[in-house]
Amino acid sequence: MKRSLLALSLLAALPAMAQEPPATVSTIVAKPSPWRDTIQAVGSLRAARGSDLAAEVPGIVDWIGFESGADVTAGTVLVRLRPNDDEAKLAELQAAADLAASNLARDTKQFRAQAVSQATIDADQSHLRAARAQVAEQQALMQEKIVRAPFAGRLGLRQVDLGQYLPAGTTVVTLQALDPLYVDFYVPQPALAGIRIGETASVRVDTYPGQVFAASVFAISPKLDPASRMAQVRATIANPEHKLLPGMFATVELPTGVTHHYLTLPQSALVYNPYGSTVYVLNPGNPPTVRNAIVKTGPARGDQVAVLAGLKAGDVVVTAGQIKLHPGSTVAVNNAVTPPDSPAPTPAEE
């Protein structure tokens, strides 16, 4: 008798036990957003004008006119090599040129008086041209012992000292023009159709997390690398504050093609399964229930993913709390805290 009464009480309690309390979830309304295809690439920054400066001839460092890291203007004298007897040789050659000019002037007067022949005048002119050429040659040699800044920019670290012997071509210092800079990167062959000169790209460097630098596509290589089928692209970046430096590693995001309008959801809304991606969609009611919908996803950007099929605009989709759900579950919506849903998230500053 007691067993029968216990069984009846358990049967009476089963409906109450089977009715689960509503699960608390957050939701979002699926709606179309403008979406342009983008490609991401890695690249390297380089100066629009940069050079390792060196003397053209060997010699002893006689004078240094710069400090490491200084900003200089075009034409600034940086290093002079010891002139030795260069000035004396120049004076000797200049004297010879002056004598040749005097001989030509004297013989020209005599030629007018028919005292010398035309051959004498021709020889005098030849001697004068040769003498002046030797003067110009010596002057050029003297200029080769002077290292100047070919353009305005910032100097690197000094690589020489006073009294040091420099073989020809030895680097004295590097000079880099820091504004603007170039960013060189590679894109795959299929992406070339959507890239245009003047297109704006976003550049990020890990030195400044969370900061985006705007770049403009400047040139596209007319030749692809036959091994990788990648094309080199170059973009320019304004760098007035000189925050960026040549040689930095950069990530580049470049829009390609036309703008689409896709339904977008936070990536947290999707439940990934071997047979496809699914989402929970709210059915109207009091309390509302959920149904399972298989969706076809497209590209992703930031916290968002594009949904190509399986949803329609206006559907209310669960974005958090799916682990407690199954088709037909009742839910309580609480959107006080929602998952991130940014197309271009930035890391939080610590």
Distance CA 78, CA 70 (A): 11
Sorted by sequence, the CB contacts under 8 Å of residue 19 that are 6+ apart come out as none
Full pLDDT tens readout for the chain, 350 residues: 445 544 445 444 444 445 668 888 888 898 888 887 788 889 999 998 988 999 888 999 989 988 898 999 998 999 999 988 888 998 999 999 899 899 888 888 888 888 778 888 888 889 989 999 999 998 888 888 899 999 999 999 999 889 899 898 889 999 999 989 999 999 988 888 888 888 889 899 998 988 899 999 989 999 998 888 899 999 999 999 989 999 999 999 888 877 788 888 888 888 887 778 888 998 888 888 889 888 998 888 878 888 888 888 888 899 888 888 888 888 888 888 888 877 767 655 44
- Burial code (b: 16+ CB inside 10 Å, e: under 16) for 171-190 equals ebbbbbbbbbbbbbbbbeee
Give the pLDDT confidence score for residue 235 in this predicted structure. Answer: 94
**Closest of 51, 58, 52, 53 to residue 145, by C-alpha:** 58
Whole-number Cα distances in Å, 243 to 179, 221, 331 = 10, 27, 51
Classify domain 39-48+177-257 at the CATH class level: mainly beta
Distance CA 246, CA 177 (A): 9
**Closest of 45, 42, 40 to residue 248, by C-alpha:** 45
**Closest of 40, 41, 43 to residue 249, by C-alpha:** 43
Give the pLDDT confidence score for residue 350 in this predicted structure. Answer: 40
**Closest of 340, 185, 192 to residue 266, by C-alpha:** 340
**Closest of 315, 317, 312 to residue 279, by C-alpha:** 317
Give the pLDDT confidence score for residue 301 in this predicted structure. Answer: 80
Distance CA 2, CA 13 (A): 17
Give the pLDDT confidence score for residue 1 in this predicted structure. Answer: 47
Give the pLDDT confidence score for residue 8 in this predicted structure. Answer: 46
Q: Which residue has the tokens 């030795």?
A: 84
Sorted by sequence, the CB contacts under 8 Å of residue 324 that are 6+ apart come out as 23, 25
Distance CA 290, CA 317 (A): 9
Phi/psi of residue 74, nearest 5 degrees: -65, 135
- Residue 276: strand pairing partners: 273
Where does the chain have alpha helices with state H?
2-18, 86-112, 118-143
- Residue 265: strand pairing partners: 305
Q: Which residue has the tokens 């029968």?
A: 4
Give the pLDDT confidence score for residue 4 in this predicted structure. Answer: 55
**Closest of 32, 29, 33 to residue 282, by C-alpha:** 29
pLDDT digits (tens, 9 = 90+) for 197-218: 888 898 999 989 888 999 999 8
Cα dihedral 341, 35, 186, 196 in deg (nearest 10) = -150
Give the pLDDT confidence score for residue 346 in this predicted structure. Answer: 63
Residue 150: Cβ within 10 Å count: 13
End-to-end alpha-carbon separation of the chain, Å?
Answer: 69
**Dihedral over Cα of 185, 188, 191, 192: its sign:** positive
Q: Is the pTM of this model over 0.75?
A: no
**What topology does CATH give the domain 23-34+260-333?**
2.40.420
Widest CA span of the chain, in angstroms?
160
Give the pLDDT confidence score for residue 81 in this predicted structure. Answer: 92
Residue 47: Cβ within 10 Å count: 23
Sorted by sequence, the CB contacts under 8 Å of residue 155 that are 6+ apart come out as 66, 67, 68, 69, 70, 71, 72, 78, 149, 173, 174, 175
Give the pLDDT confidence score for residue 95 in this predicted structure. Answer: 92
Classify domain 50-81+146-174 at the CATH class level: mainly beta
pLDDT digits (tens, 9 = 90+) for 329-338: 888 888 888 8
